[in-house]
């Protein structure tokens, strides 16, 4: 009997093609890919009892402060649902912006999987304030109302804006005074740190945040996120993550490969370098399109996103070359995202094409 080896295609896509639709479109950072390869080979204990996950605990302690603990998971939705479940009783509710990712893009997972009620608040820039929180933080002790016992903020927000440490401290102080805990959805936490020019602790543990969803996938990783518990009074038995993670199908058997990616990013400065570059490209994009007649930037460009309004026909023509998404089809608002691998030439080509189309229009 003779055997044949089937040759598999090595490239099914254009490796030089990049758009402005999402930082999820970008592939793995080469240093993350190298870390995955280095973690391969041999046997390591499964379900988190491996050397990589142990090292991750030390790194998280260095980044967020002694006592911080990390619970690696597969994706951001899982991280957010787990984090909120860990903070709340069955009757608890979460106050969040009406543009928060947990409200707009997670298909009701907090409600349907987490069993939690979301109490949303309209915001002009995607950011909550103590006053806005009070719009939903009421009815404590009322058996007819889901109890508002947590606040969730997104850093950076879904509108690309960034909370300052002072703004977050005001939120945590106010929320804690009401008996509420604070969750920070950090899918783009690295972009926030790069924008603020500070440490991760400076706008999380240092200002009273209780629990964080630590993002990595949008910054060059593959299916690698973590829940990080910062509140030292929240014991393992109280938050129950050791049980909730398995219950929610977020427990990786070969966890070393998730932890190895998180280490590649956070055990060093790759996370900050990559996010800083993405932010710089967004600033370059905003500087290029901002002065153009027919383009109105709608939000402050504080991280790696640019929101703008332009003619729908122009947007559709531009999409024939560069992929991006509508944010609000009713108003013509679109979102342009930059990634760790966006290049200056990508941005310049995008701006040149938009100029050409606007001139034709």
Res. 235 pLDDT band, cuts 50 70 90: confident
Q: For tokens 């870390």, what's the residue?
A: 35
Nearest to 19 by CA among 302, 295, 285: 285
Res. 361 pLDDT band, cuts 50 70 90: confident
User: What value does the mean pLDDT take over residues 40-55?
Assistant: 97
User: What value does the mean pLDDT take over residues 174-198?
Assistant: 97
Q: What is the pLDDT of residue 232?
A: 85
Tens digits of residue pLDDT in 289-303 = 999 999 999 999 999
| Alpha helical stretches, state H, 241-343 | 241-247, 256-266, 270-289, 312-319
Do the beta carbons of residue 360 and residue 46 sit within 8 Å? no
Q: What is the pLDDT of residue 10?
A: 74
User: What value does the mean pLDDT take over residues 316-322?
Assistant: 97
Share of the chain above pLDDT 90, in %: 93
Is residue 190's pLDDT more than 80? yes
How far apart are the C-alpha atoms of 125 and 88, rounded to whole Å? Answer: 27
Per-chain mean pLDDT for the chain:
96
Helix and strand numbers (H, E) in the chain are 14, 11
**Higher confidence at residue 350 or residue 15?**
350
Domain range annotation of the chain: 30-266, 270-360
Nearest to 148 by CA among 167, 174, 122: 174
Q: What is the pLDDT of residue 237?
A: 85
CATH architecture, domain defined by 270-360:
Alpha-Beta Complex (3.90)
Whether the bond between 156 and the residue before it is cis, its omega within 30 degrees of 0, is yes
Do the beta carbons of residue 154 and residue 185 sit within 8 Å? yes
Q: What is the pLDDT of residue 5?
A: 59
Tens digits of residue pLDDT in 200-227 = 999 999 999 999 999 999 999 999 999 9
Q: What is the pLDDT of residue 6?
A: 67
If residue 80 lies in a helix (H) or strand (E), which one and from where to where? helix 76-87
User: What value does the mean pLDDT take over residues 335-342?
Assistant: 98
Token digits of residue 333: 């608002």
Long-range contacts of 33-38 (CB under 8 A, 24+ apart): 34/264, 35/260, 35/261, 35/263, 35/264, 36/222, 36/257, 36/260, 36/261, 38/260
Is residue 3's pLDDT more than 60? no
Is residue 287's pLDDT more than 80? yes
Q: What is the pLDDT of residue 2?
A: 52
How far apart are the C-alpha atoms of 203 and 196, rounded to whole Å? Answer: 9
Angle, helices 270-289 vs 256-266, to 10°: value is: 60
Is residue 20's pLDDT more than 70? yes
Q: What is the pLDDT of residue 4?
A: 55
Q: Indicate the fold that domain 30-266 takes in CATH.
A: 3.40.640
Q: What is the pLDDT of residue 269?
A: 97
User: What value does the mean pLDDT take over residues 183-192?
Assistant: 98
Counted residue by residue, the chain has a size of 361
Q: What is the pLDDT of residue 9?
A: 67
Q: What is the pLDDT of residue 8?
A: 64
How far apart are the C-alpha atoms of 314 and 356, rounded to whole Å? Answer: 10
Tens digits of residue pLDDT in 271-283 = 999 999 999 999 9
Q: What is the pLDDT of residue 145?
A: 97
Measured torsion, CA atoms of residues 84, 88, 89, 94, in degrees rounded to the nearest 10: -80
Do the beta carbons of residue 305 and residue 99 sit within 8 Å? no
User: What value does the mean pLDDT take over residues 306-322?
Assistant: 97
């Amino acid at each position: 009997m003779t055997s044949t080896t089937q040759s598999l295609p090595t490239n099914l896509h254009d490796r030089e093609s990049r758009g402005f639709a999402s930082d999820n479109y970008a592939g793995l950072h080469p240093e993350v890919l190298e870390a995955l390869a280095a973690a391969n080979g041999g046997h390591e204990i499964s379900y988190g009892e491996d050397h990589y996950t142990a090292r991750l605990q030390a790194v998280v302690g260095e980044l967020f402060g002694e006592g911080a603990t990390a619970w690696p998971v597969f994706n951001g939705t899982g991280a957010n649902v787990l984090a909120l479940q860990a903070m709340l009783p069955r009757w608890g509710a979460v106050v969040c912006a009406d543009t928060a990712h947990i409200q707009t893009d997670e298909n009701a997972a907090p409600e349907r999987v987490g069993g939690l009620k979301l109490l949303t608040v309209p915001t002009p820039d995607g950011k909550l304030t103590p006053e806005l929180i009070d719009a939903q933080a009421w009815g404590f002790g009322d058996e007819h109302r889901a109890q508002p016992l947590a606040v969730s903020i997104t850093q950076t927000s879904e509108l690309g804006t960034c909370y300052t440490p002072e703004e977050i401290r005001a939120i945590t102080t106010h929320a804690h005074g009401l008996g509420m805990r604070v969750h920070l959805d950090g899918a783009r936490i690295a972009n926030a740190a790069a924008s603020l020019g500070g440490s991760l602790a400076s706008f999380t543990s240092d200002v009273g945040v209780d629990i964080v969803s630590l993002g990595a996938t949008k910054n060059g990783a593959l299916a690698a996120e973590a829940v990080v518990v910062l509140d030292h009074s929240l014991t393992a038995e109280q938050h129950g993550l050791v049980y909730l993670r398995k219950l929610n199908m977020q427990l990786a058997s070969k966890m070393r490969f998730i932890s190895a990616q998180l280490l590649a990013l956070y055990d060093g400065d790759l996370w900050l370098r990559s996010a800083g570059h993405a932010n710089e490209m967004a600033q370059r994009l905003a500087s290029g399109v901002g002065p153009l007649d027919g383009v109105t930037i709608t939000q402050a460009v504080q991280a790696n996103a640019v929101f703008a309004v332009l003619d729908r026909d122009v947007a559709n023509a531009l999409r024939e070359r560069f992929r991006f998404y509508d944010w609000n089809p009713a108003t013509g608002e679109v979102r342009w995202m930059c990634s760790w691998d966006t290049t200056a030439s990508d941005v310049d080509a995008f701006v040149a094409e938009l100029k050409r189309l606007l001139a034709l229009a």
